[in-house]
Amino acid sequence: MKKVEIQLQNHIEIDDIHGFFIRKVTKFGNSAKVDCPKEYLGRTVYLVIV
């Protein structure tokens, strides 16, 4: 499995986004999934749609 590198930052600016979701990382579910390291299971994330 490919290792996803995390870039540690405390501020980000993104222009021309369509929207974003605030969700909790889960192992299973009925919605679309994105690549995320399993050490972040249970944490809250922002998914930005560009």
> Could you read off the pLDDT of 1-50 as tens digits, one per residue?
677 788 888 998 999 999 998 988 888 766 667 777 788 888 888 889 99
Domain ranges, residue 40: 1-50
pTM exceeding 0.85: no
Sequence-distant (≥ 6) Cβ neighbours of residue 8 within 8 angstroms: none
Contact 12, 3 (CB under 8 A): no
Question: How far is Cα 35 from Cα 10, in angstroms, rounded to an integer?
Answer: 21
Total tally of structural domains belonging to the chain: 1
